Homo-oligomer: A and B are copies of this chain.
Amino acid sequence: MPPDPSRRSERSRQAILTAAVDLLREVGYRKLTIEAIAARAGVGKQTIYRWWPSKGAVVLDGFLAAVNEDPDDLSLPDTGDVAADLRGVVRAIVAELADPDLSGVSRALMIEMQEDVELADTARDRILAPQMRAIADRLRAAQDAGQLRADLDLAVAVELLVGPLYHRWLLRTAPLTEAYADTVTDLALRALGPQPART
């Protein structure tokens, strides 16, 4: 029986993404080339260019394969305790940014997003927007329960919570620690919490 061509191309696709992520870890983004990815994956350069327009696009799919989560399936736990739930998600983001296996891929994506606006749009739609939507949904539930102010702009509220994490990580202002994550969560919650009752 001849090999199934669609199965063979899925195998090549996986080999290419794995090679890209592994090489990125080994040599850094600057030195990553399509040639090296092709050689490591055992495919021709043309195979890569048939599926992806640039090394940035390969890295984006490599990131999605590495995190291995379905963006449409993201949602935060809702224990009823909004402070605990947000503390959990903020700590998880910090852990993901600090993860040596993932951080190189994430930084490579950030690099590409600065110059390739089309890739940035795709990264926003496929990676960032689902994460931010999941946090906004949890904030909305807390609003409905009267735990947060009713007049919040939820998109801004989410960036108040996660912006300081990315700021410290991308601008390398100081180590990104769990203590920082907790302080940011506590401060943000104070901003988002219900208005103090006037007496």
- Residues of A in contact with B (beta carbons under 8 Å apart): 28-30, 107-108, 110-111, 113-115, 117, 120-121, 124, 128-129, 132, 153, 155-157, 159-160, 162-168, 170-174, 180, 183-184, 187-188, 190-192, 196, 199
Contact = CB atoms under 8 A, between A and B. Distances in A.
A166 B170 contact: yes
Contacts of A166: 163, 166-167, 170-171
Contacts of A111: 111, 114-115
A191 B168 CA distance: 19
A153 B114 contact: no
A163 B167 contact: yes
Given A115-B29, A115-B30, A188 B160 contact: yes
Give the copy number: 2
Given A164-B160, A199-B199, A114 B191 contact: no
Instruction: Determine which residue in A107, A108, A166, A174 has the highest number of CB atoms from chain B within 10 A of its CB, and name it.
Output: A166
Contacts of A162: 167
Contacts of A172: 113, 117, 120-121, 124
A166 B169 CA distance: 11
Contact of A191 (B153, B171, B191): B191
Nearest to A190: B191
Contacts of A28: 115
A99 to B, nearest CB: 16
Contacts of A113: 170-172
